[in-house]
Amino acid sequence: MQVSFHLRKDKIDKQGLAPIRMLITFKGVRVRRVVKDVKSSLKNWKNKEQRIKTPLKSEDYNYYIEYNKIIDRLENKAKDLFRYMLLNDIQPTKEYLIDKFENEANTELSFEFFSCFKEFLNQNRNSKAERTITGYTTALNYLTEFEEHTGYSLRFETINHDFFEKIMNYSFEVKEIKNNYFSRIITVVKTFMTWSFDREYHNNITYKKFKLTENEIEVIYLTMDELLALYNHKFDSRRLEHVKDTYCFGCFTGLRFSDIKQLKPSYIFEDHIKINIQKTKSIDHKIPLNKYSKELLNKYKDTIYEPLPVISSQKFNKYLKECCEKVEIKTPTTITRYVGQRRIDKTVPKYELITSHTARKTFVTNSLILGMKEMVVRNITGHKKEESFRKYVKIADDFKKQEMDNTWDKIKE
């Protein structure tokens, strides 16, 4: 859409003032409308800026401040209308544009919620980690299902306390999702609402009052004995061998699966890796290599899989559970989750809980148990939040105390 303002030189009145005309052009549609109650003399009109000049001290005041403000408002309204049509896939007619500019009842533009959410998603694809974008997409799909199931119309102005109560009831009573999952959905909604508020798509700030409850969950990791059993096991299946090696590399380095996927031979040096961390945007982050991680890299050196064989996260997690089951990592493990106020305890073989995310947890926990200093571990992993790191320290301390008790309790007096 192009918007311009011009003097109607053919309509100059007795005072030497010409009316100003606005011209809107969009996809072959042209609309010309006179700006009401705004005029300018030829000498006071700036053609390049399309605004009225400040009068000289010797001249009478020409209302340039008031008139230019009206022109600015019309230009901004045209830009908002253009953005609104794009987001809502509207093909305008001449009558539509005239109606939006002249009918005061239709001057308020309401941006469509889901179209804006898709814009939010697309604009973040190049700046956010893959896992974050997956979370945004999941939230979008969840909100779509919520609207279809409940009939609650999602618009910027309806993201209020009524919405929060309805989606909470839907989540816990219909979908029976866990508190932490619900918290992640609402966190994305709040992030999106802030993003769209900054772009002046709405002026609703009720969402900032939404209160979320997250429950602490268990840290699932492989003990050192389980990790070495997995590492030393030779699978007949090449796909399982590849998945096992890639997972173990994460356990020995603390790298996230998303960072292992972007690993290149040029990032690898004799005793360390230097990589740009996708999630935290850390540049040239240095990670030392131990003998196990070196052995894994050497195993695939000069092969088509160099530096490591990586597959999609969905297949990876499926095959990883199969690996751990074959190695008999099946200690009964109880996890506790909450759906609203309802507590759910579930006990399953440990291999069912092992995913790509547990590699990093395995590295942190075992490093602390083996005596590595907290500061060194945090420097390697790049943990920013103190509270997220303290849970690993507690596990390591509890493990050491248990080992101490088991050792000294065996001594006979």
Q: What is the pLDDT of residue 107?
A: 44
Q: Please report how the helices 113-124 and 179-198 are oriented relative to each other, as an axis angle in degrees rounded to 10.
A: 90
222 phi, psi to nearest 5 deg: -90, 135
Do 398 and 278 sit in the same domain of this protein? yes
Q: Would you state the structure tokens that stand for residue 134, as one six-digit string?
A: 């997956």
Q: What is the pLDDT of residue 389?
A: 81
Which of 110-114, 307-311, 402-406 shows the lowest mean pLDDT across its residues? Answer: 402-406
The yes-or-no verdict on residue 7 having pLDDT over 50 is yes
**366 and 333 in contact (C-beta within 8 Å)?**
no
Do 42 and 87 sit in the same domain of this protein? yes
Residue 215 lies in a domain: no
Cα 408 to chain centroid distance, Å, stands at 50
Residue 216 lies in a domain: no
User: Mean per-residue pLDDT for 242-257?
Assistant: 96
Q: What is the pLDDT of residue 195?
A: 94
Count of domains in the chain? 3
In angstroms, what CA-CA distances link 277 with 26, 382, 398?
44, 9, 31
Q: Which residues pair with 17 in a beta bridge?
A: 41
Percent with pLDDT over 70 in the chain: 94
The yes-or-no verdict on residue 91 having pLDDT over 80 is no
Residue 195 lies in a domain: yes
User: Mean per-residue pLDDT for 331-356?
Assistant: 91
The yes-or-no verdict on residue 224 having pLDDT over 80 is yes
At 285-305, the pLDDT tens digits run 899 999 999 999 999 999 999
At 128-173, the pLDDT tens digits run 888 889 999 999 999 999 999 999 989 898 999 999 999 999 999 8
Do 373 and 251 sit in the same domain of this protein? yes
- Residues constituting the chain: 413
The yes-or-no verdict on residue 17 having pLDDT over 70 is yes
Do 9 and 27 sit in the same domain of this protein? yes
Do 233 and 162 sit in the same domain of this protein? no
User: Mean per-residue pLDDT for 175-182?
Assistant: 92
Residue 68 lies in a domain: yes
**Choice between 88 and 276, residue whose per-residue pLDDT is larger:** 276
Spatial CB neighbours of 355, under 8 Å, sequence gap ≥ 6: 317, 320, 321
End-to-end CA distance of the chain: 91
**174 and 124 in contact (C-beta within 8 Å)?**
no
Task: Decide which of 49, 84, 106 is a domain's last residue.
Answer: 106
Residue 179 lies in a domain: yes
Residue 388 pLDDT class (50, 70, 90 cuts): confident
Q: What is the pLDDT of residue 103?
A: 63
Helices (H), 254-356: 257-261, 291-300, 313-326
C-alpha span between 136 and 190 (Å, rounded) = 11
Which of 28-42, 236-250, 333-347, 374-388 shows the lowest mean pLDDT across its residues? Answer: 374-388
Which of 44-48, 160-164, 180-184, 214-218 shows the lowest mean pLDDT across its residues? Answer: 214-218
Residue 386 lies in a domain: yes
User: Mean per-residue pLDDT for 310-323?
Assistant: 93
Candidates 224, 230, 262; CA nearest to 243 is: 230
Do 132 and 198 sit in the same domain of this protein? yes
Residue 10 DSSP class:
G
For 146-180, b/e burial (b = at least 16 CB within 10 A) is beeeeebebebeebeeebbeebeebbbeebebbbe
Which of 16-20, 26-30, 66-70, 265-269 shows the lowest mean pLDDT across its residues? Answer: 26-30
Q: What is the pLDDT of residue 396?
A: 80
Do 280 and 401 sit in the same domain of this protein? yes
Task: Decide which of 77, 106, 135 is a domain's last residue.
Answer: 106
Q: Is 377 exposed, middle or buried (0-12, 13-18, 19+ CB in 10 A)?
A: buried
Do 62 and 120 sit in the same domain of this protein? no
Cα torsion 297, 301, 305, 308 to 10°: value is 10
Residue 173 DSSP class:
I
User: Mean per-residue pLDDT for 108-115?
Assistant: 72
C-alpha span between 378 and 376 (Å, rounded) = 5
Q: What is the pLDDT of residue 138?
A: 95
Do 405 and 275 sit in the same domain of this protein? yes
**Which amino acid does the sequence have at 339?**
V
Residue 214 lies in a domain: no
Residue 106 pLDDT class (50, 70, 90 cuts): very low
Q: Would you state the structure tokens that stand for residue 106, as one six-digit string?
A: 């239709």
**220 and 354 in contact (C-beta within 8 Å)?**
yes
User: Mean per-residue pLDDT for 26-42?
Assistant: 87
The yes-or-no verdict on residue 218 having pLDDT over 70 is yes
The yes-or-no verdict on residue 182 having pLDDT over 50 is yes
Residue 39 pLDDT class (50, 70, 90 cuts): very high
Domain interval for residue 43 = 2-106
Task: Decide which of 64, 87, 106 is a domain's last residue.
Answer: 106
Do 193 and 246 sit in the same domain of this protein? no
Q: Domain holding 295: CATH number?
A: 1.10.443.10
Measured at the alpha carbon of residue 366, what is the angle toward residues 361 and 367, in degrees to the nearest 5? 100
**Which amino acid does the sequence have at 354?**
I
C-alpha span between 257 and 249 (Å, rounded) = 10
The yes-or-no verdict on residue 366 having pLDDT over 70 is yes
Q: Would you state the structure tokens that stand for residue 241, as one six-digit string?
A: 């061998």
Q: Domain holding 146: CATH number?
A: 1.10.150
Do 45 and 135 sit in the same domain of this protein? no
User: Mean per-residue pLDDT for 172-201?
Assistant: 92
Do 195 and 242 sit in the same domain of this protein? no
**169 and 218 in contact (C-beta within 8 Å)?**
no
Q: What's the mean per-residue pLDDT of the chain? A: 88
